[in-house]
Chains A and B, each alone.
Chain A
């Protein structure tokens, strides 16, 4: 079965650079979520989109922005990167906002040096 695809899987950036993470949801899934997991920490919700509109927002820094496109894929844009942004970034998708389970991608490991 098709799963959530994230690219790139690994990314190394320097401080103050920008990064773009991409997420391709499971076919027919219209809802995308982004989570950040720092070293030794639990995943933390950043932002979500339903039908190309932002549906919820968590502790996402102002330096980060995201959007969902007409084909439902989503991109997380991160600017002025800081060392503390080094983390695993997971994307998840679901069929909608209701009682639907979220399916997670393999994550993008971002390292900021």
Chain B
């Protein structure tokens, strides 16, 4: 799976949009970009995933650049409950292998 690079930490004011970047310059054509988050030792929580088109769900939006070498997770109106470690994961499907390979992630702190 391609390696990802994320900022170690970010701050965001409550009510503002949180934009979390991820670099995955070695991504290949059959690899998807997934985002998970982990709130203080709880089980990681799925947020969103995409291949090349931008995606939106009730939690967030995912913007993938045209060359697919980077992406941005957008939380439109961050709340204190969004404080967590956010993981950008590139995931390929080669037959039976579909594990998640977690990197170091971005620690997002949402403040009042």
Contacts and interface: CB of A to CB of B under 8 A. Distances in A.
Answer yes or no: do A and B interact: yes
A101 B46 contact: yes
Interface in A12-58: 31, 33, 35, 42-45, 48, 50, 55-56, 58
Nearest to B95: A97
Given A58-B99, A99-B32, A90 B43 contact: yes
Given A42-B104, A56-B96, A99-B32, A104 B41 contact: no
Contacts, number: 61
Which interface class (under 10, 10 to 19, 20 to 34, 35 or more) fits B? 20 to 34
B43 A99 contact: no
Contact of A90 (B32, B44, B95, B101): B44
B45 interface: yes
Nearest to B99: A45
Contacts of A31: 98
A55 B99 CA distance: 10
Nearest to A37: B41
B99 A104 contact: no
A103 B100 CA distance: 11
B98 A97 contact: yes
Contact of A107 (B32, B42, B45, B46): B42
B45 A104 contact: yes
Nearest to B104: A42
Interface in B53-112: 87, 93, 95-105
Given A42-B104, A101-B49, A56 B43 contact: no
B32 to A, nearest CB: 6
A103 B97 contact: no
B93 A106 contact: no
A42 B96 contact: no
Given A33-B100, A104-B45, 11 more contacts: A42-B105, A48-B98, A55-B97, A56-B99, A90-B43, A92-B44, A92-B100, A98-B98, A101-B46, A106-B43, A107-B42
